[in-house]
Amino acid sequence: MVSNELKQMIWQSVAAIPKGKVATYGQIARQCGHPRHARYVGAVLKQLPQNSLIPWHRVVNAKGKISFPIGSDAYHRQQTRLQGEAVTLSNDKINLKHFGWDGFVSES
């Protein structure tokens, strides 16, 4: 059964994202040893309970944007959480550089 262990690793990886930084689904998947499972990362985050301590809001797509339709409730929720972590957005785009597991990866 792959999904259980993968879920654990995903939670662990997401939880390891430093405050004020963000990572992409692809990075998380890669870090877990499953480079092609970016979508599954999203699926797992979706399953997280609202009271979860996992900082799911620090996970964005490869374009550095929130992976929700702009203006949607979910989008606004994540945006709010990010701003609460001192992360800002300019024109729906994350400003801070992405968190890289071996340092930092330049964006923009």
Footprint of DNA (CB under 7 A): 2-3, 6, 24-27, 36-43, 45-46, 48, 56-57, 59, 61-63, 67-68, 74, 78
Which C-beta is closer to DNA: that of 26 or that of 100? 26
Residues 6+ apart with CB under 8 A from 76: none
Report the nearest approach of DNA to the CB of residue 45 (Å).
4
The radius of gyration of the chain from alpha carbons, rounded to an integer in Å, stands at: 13
Report the nearest approach of DNA to the CB of residue 86 (Å).
19
Residue 98's H or E segment, with its range, is strand 98-100
Report the nearest approach of DNA to the CB of residue 3 (Å).
2
> Quick check: 42 and 28 in contact, CB under 8 A?
no
CA distance 75 to 94: 13
Report the nearest approach of DNA to the CB of residue 20 (Å).
17
